[in-house]
């Protein structure tokens, strides 16, 4: 990733590889991305051995993974040398099914497909990724299919007011800037006019030119310096009127039939009344999968990653989920540090024990003000209650950070 949030300094305090004992008869799958926790947990539900490759090695990631390797570079970015070295190592693990790539690996897609020493890529073929991630091809395809989208330009507009500049290989909103404030180090690949609407996504699983839409989610974002739409979380599943849900299903099916998408993917769109404007497709598993696993655990007892594997390796789609109300509704939101601090053993233990916390940092991790601490999880009987519950969780987290705070010098003296 070329644009990035501020990050924990490198080297990280806990960035040491590790391996647990594992059953050699059980297949391995490699999960790689900025954070591997979510899909490591999902794969573990299928009783697979997991080799997790990410930047943090958080406690819950390590709890579920049999192997963890650090692939972090400067800032919140993947180091390509570390990534390819780690993948070459895990490719030699017994019964390795292949690699599932998460957020943050978009710039390395071609190498992940073509390098001979990599695990088999479990996901979309390179030509399929290009069909939906190359903006010239994607928006031309939307026009051919009569699918609405915000106005796009491949030259900087004379008047940049109301326009965004976007890169094609970014993720999590770090690839989006106001067109009036371009990043000279990473110029945009295209420009898109700002459009009104509720920011949403549709999670779907595809195989054989067909697709099953799993559900819809609201997207949460926040402004961070020059980045106006940094992804911070999601809420769902969201109940949409049948006519709108059917229209989005139709969009998903049309795009899958034309591009050959396989496995778990997500469609980002704006919903303004009855108007649907498509923004992009993420041709990889989406973090919103966690919402559906939490909201309807009986529907996905083996995790949604198992459905991704079935679609990619066996061409098999899951059953169409019922449109009835889920058991509960769920939300996830990244919590950021209110001030700089070092994670103490007491704080790490408290977060690890809290049902509302995921991506729990290791003791000794130094986190600067404004950097991510953990992911908060909230559940409620109705979607309208989720934001309030997230706020309560966030208040409790800040109180916990305050009460478990120790200086870095104190921690060093006690553990040195």
> Domains of the chain: which residue ranges?
18-122, 129-147+198-314, 329-415
pLDDT in tens, 117-160: 999 999 999 999 999 999 999 999 999 999 999 999 999 999 99
CATH of domain 129-147+198-314: 3.30.470.20
The CATH architecture to which 18-122 belongs is: 3-Layer(aba) Sandwich (3.40)
pLDDT at 91: 97
pLDDT at 181: 87
pLDDT at 170: 77
The reported pTM is: 0.91
Strand partners for 376: 333, 357
Burial grade of 312 (CB within 10 A; 0-12, 13-18, 19 or more):
buried
Q: Which residue ranges in the chain fall short of pLDDT 50?
A: 1-14, 407-416
pLDDT at 415: 35
Q: Which long-range contacts (CB under 8 A, 24 or more apart) does 321-326 make?
A: 321/212, 321/214, 321/215, 321/292, 321/296, 323/239, 323/242, 323/245, 325/239, 326/237, 326/292, 326/295, 326/296
pLDDT at 10: 39
pLDDT at 74: 83
pLDDT in tens, 199-212: 999 999 999 999 99
């Amino acid at each position: 990733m070329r644009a990035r949030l501020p990050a924990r300094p490198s080297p990280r305090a806990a960035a040491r590889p590790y391996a647990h004992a594992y059953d050699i008869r059980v297949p391995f799958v490699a999960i790689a991305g900025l954070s591997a926790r979510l899909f490591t947990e999902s794969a573990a539900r299928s009783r697979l051995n997991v080799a997790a490759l990410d930047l943090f090695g958080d406690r819950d990631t390590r709890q579920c993974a049999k192997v963890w390797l650090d692939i972090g570079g400067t800032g919140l970015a993947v180091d390509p040398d570390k990534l390819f070295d780690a993948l070459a190592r895990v490719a030699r693990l017994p019964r390795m099914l292949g690699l599932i790539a998460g957020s943050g690996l978009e710039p390395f897609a071609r190498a992940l497909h073509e390098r001979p020493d990599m695990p088999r890529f479990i996901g979309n073929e390179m030509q399929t990724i290009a069909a939906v991630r190359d903006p010239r091809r994607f928006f031309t395809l939307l026009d051919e299919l009569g699918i609405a989208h915000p106005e796009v330009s491949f030259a900087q507009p004379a008047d940049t007011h109301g326009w965004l500049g976007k890169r094609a290989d970014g993720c999590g909103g770090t690839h989006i800037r106001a067109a009036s404030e371009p990043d000279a180090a990473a110029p945009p690949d295209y420009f898109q006019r700002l459009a009104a609407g509720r920011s949403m996504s549709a999670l779907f699983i595809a195989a054989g030119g067909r697709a099953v839409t799993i559900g819809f989610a609201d997207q949460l974002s926040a402004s961070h310096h020059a980045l106006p739409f940094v992804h911070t979380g999601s809420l769902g599943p969201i109940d949409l009127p049948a006519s709108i849900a059917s229209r989005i299903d139709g969009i998903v099916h049309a795009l899958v039939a034309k591009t050959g998408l396989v496995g778990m993917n997500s469609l980002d769109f704006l919903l303004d009344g009855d108007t649907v404007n498509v923004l992009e497709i993420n041709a990889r598993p989406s973090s919103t999968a966690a919402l559906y696993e939490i909201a309807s655990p009986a529907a996905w007892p083996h995790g949604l990653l198992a459905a991704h594997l079935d679609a990619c390796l066996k061409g098999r789609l899951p059953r169409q989920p019922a449109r009835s109300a889920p058991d509960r509704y769920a939300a996830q939101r990244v919590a950021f540090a209110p001030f700089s601090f070092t994670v103490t053993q007491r704080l790490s233990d408290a977060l690890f024990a809290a049902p509302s916390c995921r991506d729990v940092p290791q003791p000794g991790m130094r986190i600067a003000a404004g950097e991510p601490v953990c992911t908060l999880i909230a559940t409620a009987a109705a979607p309208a209650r989720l934001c309030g519950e997230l706020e309560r969780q966030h208040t409790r987290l800040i109180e916990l950070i305050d009460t478990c705070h120790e200086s870095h010098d104190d921690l060093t003296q006690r553990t040195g």
